[in-house]
Amino acid sequence: MGDRRLSRLPVRTADVVIVGAGVQGASLAFHLAARGAKVLVIERSSVAAGATGRSSGFVRMHYDLALEAELAWRSFPWFLEWHDRVGDGDPGFVQTGFVQLVGPPHAEALRGNVANQQALGIATSVVGPDELARIVPGMTTDDIGAAAYEPRSGYADPTGTAAGLLAAARRRGAQFASGVSVTGVRVANGRVAGVQTAEGDVAAPIVVDAAGAWAAALARTVGVEIPVEPWRHDTAYFGLPAARPSSIPIVLDHIRAVYFRPEGRELMLVGLETGNEIGGSPDAPMPGYDPEVLEPMVDRLTARVPWMADGDFRTASKGQDGMTPDQRAILGPAGPDGFFLDCGHSGSGFKTAPMVGQCMAEWILDGRPTTVDIRPFGAERFAQGRQLVGEHPYESLWR
C-alpha cells in the first residue's frame, strides 16, 4: 500500500522543492536546474492548472513601478528567443503591439512612466489621438488623457509557456510530481526540512511557495502570515465582426476598466478590471460563465470600440490568482531558514516569469538576486506598513 501511495513522487529527496507548477514555479525550476540544483516540482493538479492556464497572456512592459517594468523588459527576450534560451515547447508569442489608455487625471503620470521605461531601453512612446486612430481604427478617443504605445509587445500562450519551461527543466534533471497535494512544510531545528504530501514526505533544505491562490495556506504551515487572498477575474471571448481585421493591438483601457486583445484571426478576448471577487476559499467552485458580468463588459467594450457591437458572444470563464494589498508579488525568504516565497503575483506574473525565475534562483543559490534586485518585493514590507507604489502611480488596476 505504501509503495502505491508513493508512486507519484519520483524522488524523496531534493535540493529544492517548488510547490506549484504555474509559469512562475516552472520558470524557477528551469533556472535552478540549469545551474545544477536537484529540483522537485510538486503540483496538486497539472501544469498551469491555476492562474497561469487562465491568464490573458499579455507580454507588455508598461507599469507604473519601474522595477516591474524592468522585470517585464528583461523577460521579453525570452519570448522572442525561446528556441535558443529554453529549447522545449513554444510560448506561441504573437506580436500585436500594446496600448495603455489613461484619463486626463493620469496623463502626466503616464508620460513619466513612459520616460522611465524609455530609460530602460523599452520601445515605447506617448501617442496622440491621430496616431491612436491609426493603431486602432474606429476607437473612441475623446475621453483619453494620454496613451502609451509599445509596438513590439503582444501576447503568448501561458499554458504552452509553462509547459515548455517545465519540460526544459526536466531535461536538465528536475523532477515533477503532478496530482500530489502538499499538506505542509516540515521544519526541524528552526530550518526547513522538506514537505509533507498526501503521498509521503520529501526531504529538502529549501522549499519555495509558488502555490498561487493557495500560497497563504502553505505559508501558514511554517508560521508565516502573508496577505495573499484568492482573487477571481472574468474574461470572455467574442467573435470579431466580419468587416474588421484581427490586426489590432492589446488595449488596456484604464478609463473604462476593461481590456481586450485579438485571439487568433476571428476572436477577441475581453476582461474586466472591476467587480473582481477577492477573498474566500481558493477551492470554492469556479463557474465558467457569470451572465451578470456580460452586460457591463459589452457596454465598456463597445464604448471604446463601437464596431464591436456587431460582434457576437462566444464563451466566458473565470481565472484565479493570489492578490496582495499593493497588487505586487511577494518574493524572497520568510520564516524559517530555507523557506522562500514566489507568490502574490496579482494577475501580473506571466510576463515577468522568465526573469523572476532567474533572480529567485540567484537568491536561493547565491544568497542574493543580482541580475535584477528584486528584494523590494520581500514580504517584510507589509509588516513594516510599507507597500510598493509606482513612481508615477495610477489607481489600482484591479478594483
Q: State the CB neighbour count (10 A cutoff) for residue 142.
A: 5
Same domain assignment for residues 195 and 267: no
Q: Which of 303, 320, 337 is the last residue of a domain?
A: 320
- Any domain includes 14: yes
Q: Which of 280, 299, 320 is the last residue of a domain?
A: 320
Q: Please give the pLDDT value at position 3.
A: 44
- Any domain includes 128: yes
- Any domain includes 45: yes
Same domain assignment for residues 107 and 145: yes
Q: Which of 280-289, 313-322, 353-362 has the highest mean pLDDT?
A: 353-362
Q: Please give the pLDDT value at position 293.
A: 85
- For residue 241, count CB atoms less than 10 angstroms from its CB and return exposed for 0-12, middle for 13-18, buried for 19 or more: middle
Same domain assignment for residues 149 and 239: yes
Q: Please give the pLDDT value at position 1.
A: 39
Same domain assignment for residues 200 and 302: no
Same domain assignment for residues 235 and 315: yes
- For residue 290, count CB atoms less than 10 angstroms from its CB and return exposed for 0-12, middle for 13-18, buried for 19 or more: middle
- Any domain includes 283: yes
- CATH code of the domain in which 28 resides: 3.50.50.60
Same domain assignment for residues 127 and 193: no
Strand order in the sheet with 94-95: 58-59, 154-155, 94-95
Same domain assignment for residues 241 and 300: yes
Measured distance CA(176)–CA(84) in Å, rounded: 23
- The domain of 9 spans 2-53+159-228+326-383
Q: What would the pLDDT profile of 56-95 be if each residue is shown by its tens digit?
A: 999 999 999 999 999 999 999 999 999 999 999 999 999 9
Instruction: Give the residues across from 253 on adjacent strands.
Output: 101, 258
- Any domain includes 308: yes
- Any domain includes 259: yes
pTM of the model: 0.95
The number of distinct structural domains making up the chain is 2
Going by DSSP bridges, is the β-strand pair 339-343/206-209 parallel, antiparallel, or unpaired?
Answer: parallel
Q: Which of 268-282, 286-300, 348-362 has the highest mean pLDDT?
A: 348-362
Same domain assignment for residues 263 and 286: yes
Local confidence band at 34 (pLDDT 50, 70, 90 cut-offs)? very high
Same domain assignment for residues 235 and 224: no
Average pLDDT value for residue range 267-294: 86
Q: What would the pLDDT profile of 318-329 be if each residue is shown by its tens digit?
A: 888 999 999 999
Measured distance CA(159)–CA(132) in Å, rounded: 31
- Any domain includes 24: yes
Same domain assignment for residues 198 and 264: no
Same domain assignment for residues 44 and 190: yes
| Lookup result for grid cell 523577460 | 75
Same domain assignment for residues 262 and 309: yes
Q: Please give the pLDDT value at position 397.
A: 62
Q: Please give the pLDDT value at position 319.
A: 87
Q: Which of 302, 320, 338 is the last residue of a domain?
A: 320
Q: Please give the pLDDT value at position 6.
A: 41
- CATH code of the domain in which 116 resides: 3.30.9.10
Q: Cβ distance 186 to 174 under 8 Å? A: no
Q: Cβ distance 151 to 59 under 8 Å? A: no
- Any domain includes 64: no
Average pLDDT, the chain: 94
Local confidence band at 398 (pLDDT 50, 70, 90 cut-offs)? low
Average pLDDT value for residue range 253-277: 92
